[in-house]
Amino acid sequence: MAISDRLLGYLESRKNLAGGACGLLGLVLTFTGVAGPYWPVVVAGLYGAGALLAPPERPPVPDFPTPSDRLEELRADLARLNGYLRDVGLPPSVAPRVTELTSVLGALLEPGQGADALAQDPEGLHTVARTVRQDLPEAVDSFVRARWWHRLAPGQESPERHLDRQLGLLARETVALAAVLKEADARRQETHTRYLEDR
């Protein structure tokens, strides 16, 4: 930090403002004749007392990302993932599973009710982030690498079957999350209905 920045920071600080206010009080005492010939000492002493008594500067609170910010990042990551899935050349046998999974993920992240419910569920948000950023890309990348090796040494279980099972598990987990979020909204509605009836 440059000296001019530190000086500017001190000029705007609470200590300088409190000291300046007390120094002005010393000038008022001087003009009313109370300080007498020692007015510079009185003004400087009051400035110093004000600067010492002023509360210290508080560091700013860290600006952590909100759930809405995280949803925006996840939407961008899902769009990149969809581009990767289009370019990677997946076999037609797994296309329905990929479409199902990315459709549910897209619906959960779509602005509105799904995203609002997801933003209030940290565990669900973590599940979606893990699926988009880790599980699905890893499953597809493992398939692409295994497919190459399978061509060199056929006879083992096909990489397509492994990928299909992995996609099925991920889709089941994502659909279950959507059901949990839907159930939470339904419970919230029922609770509000009971509240209104009791009132």
pLDDT one digit per residue (tens) for the chain, 199 residues: 567 777 777 777 888 888 888 888 888 888 888 877 888 888 888 888 888 888 877 777 787 777 777 888 999 999 999 999 999 888 888 888 898 999 999 988 888 767 788 888 889 899 999 999 999 999 999 988 887 766 656 667 778 888 999 999 999 999 999 888 888 777 888 888 888 888 7
3-state secondary structure 161-197: HHHHHHHHHHHHHHHHHHHHHHHHHHHHHHHHHHHHH
Whole-angstrom distance, CA of residue 97 vs CA of residue 59: 50
Long-range CB contact pairs, 142-146, < 8 A, 24+: 143/90, 144/88
Entry pTM: 0.62
Whole-angstrom distance, CA of residue 45 vs CA of residue 41: 6
Domain boundaries, the chain: 3-53, 67-198
